[in-house]
Amino acid sequence: AGTGKTFTIALLYVRLVLGGQHGEDDTAFVRPLTPPEILVVTFTNAATQELRERIRHRLVEAATVFRKVPDTKEAGHGEGLFPRMEKVAPKDGFTAPSQWPASESADDPLLIHLRSQYPEATWPACARRLELAAEWMDEAAVSTIHSWCYRMLREHAFDSGSLFSLNLE
């Protein structure tokens, strides 16, 4: 307890949603992932809901950081540097909230460092991707080891040759 597992998982999740900057980093994913494409496994049912909420909160915090104007430019450019969310919202049926809640962690050094790894011109798109991921967290695969294994056995019963109504004890 208290070793930072949830904190680390939430930050890794943010990085997976953003995708990597390819060049120096050979460990980056080829493309950004969406919540249904990411599997997070934990030990207890109670931990699954907490982990889901912490990840959602971290995605919103990261989006806030990506929307924030860097300190060196705040005085010169004001709020006109980035387009409003309504202008970058997708036209494919997703609806974005008019404004995300302000975060106490908008000055989080880890998130600021993460933001610095992306070209400034991509920050609005990164923020939008993070906001959509936060909205999509209800469909994210955050489960216990047992529930994930049970789900896989149920979904692939025909392929695995097991019973469709298998009960795990």
pLDDT in tens, 87-106: 444 444 444 444 444 445 56
pLDDT at 72: 56
Does pTM surpass 0.75?
no
Residue ranges in the chain assigned as alpha helix (H) = 5-18, 45-67, 71-77, 85-88, 109-116, 123-135, 145-155, 157-160
Mean pLDDT of the chain: 77
pLDDT at 168: 57
Exposed e or buried b per residue across 40-49, where buried means at least 16 C-beta atoms within 10 angstroms of its C-beta = bbbeeeeebe
Q: How confident is the model at residue 76 (pLDDT cuts 50, 70, 90)?
A: very low
pLDDT at 3: 80
Q: In the CATH scheme, what is the code of domain 5-160?
A: 3.40.50.300
Average pLDDT on 145-149 reads 88
pLDDT at 167: 61
Residues with Cβ within 8 Å of residue 111, at least 6 apart in sequence: 14, 61, 62, 65, 105
Average pLDDT on 115-142 reads 93
Q: Does residue 137 register a pLDDT over 50?
A: yes
CB neighbour class for 166 (10 Å; exposed up to 12, middle 13-18, buried from 19): exposed
